[in-house]
Amino acid sequence: MDGLLMSLGATAVFALGVSGFHLVRTTGLEEVSDFQPAARESRKGSGALLDVLGQRLLGSTMRLYGPVRLRQLEERIRRAGRPQGLTLTIYLQRHGASCFLGLVLFALLVMAGGVLGAVLGLLVAGVLASWMPMWLRTETGRRVARIESDLPDFLDVLGVTVQAGLGFRQAVERVCEVSDGPLTEEMTNALREMALGASRRRAFVGLRDRTKSETVAAFVAALLQAEELGVPLADALEDIARDARREHAERTRQKMAKIGPKSSLVITMTIVPGALILITSSFIIGNEVFGDLF
């Protein structure tokens, strides 16, 4: 019986690893077109099992999250730019299903392998439970990094457009028409808010809060301060772009400085033990005393 359970657990872990490799790369969200019944019935692929299971667990998952955490989750999804068409419902389906599968595999491995199975089950359950949050956090970080890298160039073009005689709002609209990316999306949202009656301060404060980027926060603060002090907008945009580019370069240097110790750690943990084993083996084989044993 223990051998059968161990075999079932090993098979489940192998299947999970194969499907998980694909899911980590794509999340399967590109297969989700909408929430209509026909679309759900025709959906196929590695994420179909999670979708079907997650739909049955959706109510319980939402109750476990609660209204406050659901609002926070919706904000994080929106801040990530809704990658691959991600919505709150899809996220909850995938997260609830992956947590449930983690619990099932944990129970199987505990019954199959005792203490060792419990340790392996905890590892598998932890990976499944943290898969969607880690993926969402990674996508958010990528989007923020893209915004910070695009901001200096966006401000340079915006400054030139303002110098050509256009007003600030018209200049932002013109630059957004010829550019793309997450920064353009956020600027477009700010323009829509101003078109609906929001002040420039309120729209750009919302832009700062949505992106959670230090560079964007510095840009918004400098822009609002220049507006209050009456500084010419073209000159202010040029100074802000220069500061943003300098901060981005400094942040890049800091990241590169952190890569050195990490690379040294990887080399120490992989290459050095292998080299020691090779040297020791060569010494033992070449020694007259131990040579006759091999």
**pTM of the predicted model as reported, rounded to 2 decimal places:** 0.67
Say what the pLDDT of residue 21 is: 46
Q: What is the pLDDT of residues 224-243, one digit of tens each?
A: 888 788 777 777 788 888 88
Q: How confident is the model at residue 293 (pLDDT cuts 50, 70, 90)?
A: low
**What average pLDDT does range 124-142 have in this prediction?**
89
Say what the pLDDT of residue 255 is: 77
What's the CA gap between 90 and 96, in Å, rounded? Answer: 10
Q: Is the pLDDT of residue 25 over 60?
A: no
Structure tokens at 144: 């923020």
Most confident of 11-15, 34-38, 132-136: 132-136
Q: What is the pLDDT of residues 60-119, one digit of tens each?
A: 888 888 899 999 899 889 888 888 888 888 899 889 988 888 888 888 888 887 777 788
Q: What is the pLDDT of residues 261-275, one digit of tens each?
A: 777 777 777 777 777
Say what the pLDDT of residue 12 is: 53
How would DSSP label each residue in 55-84?
Answer: HHHHHHHHHHHHHHHHHHHHHHHHHTT-GG
How would DSSP label each residue in the chain?
Answer: -HHHHHHHHHHHHHHHHHHHHHHHHHTTGGG---S-HHHHHH--STTHHHHHHHHHHHHHHHHHHHHHHHHHHHHHHHHTT-GGG--HHHHHHHHHHHHHHHHHHHHHHHHHHHHHHHHHHHHHHHHHHHHHHHHHHHHHHHHHHHHHHHHHHHHHHHHHHHHTT--HHHHHHHHHHT--SHHHHHHHHHHHHHHTT--HHHHHHHHHHHH--HHHHHHHHHHHHHHHHT--HHHHHHHHHHHHHHHHHHHHHHHHHHHHHHHHHHHHHHHHHHHHHHHHHHHHHHSHHHHTT-
| CB-based contact 101:53 (threshold 8 Å) | yes
**Which range is least confidently modeled, 8-12, 99-103, 114-118, 214-218?**
8-12
Say what the pLDDT of residue 210 is: 86
Q: How confident is the model at residue 258 (pLDDT cuts 50, 70, 90)?
A: confident
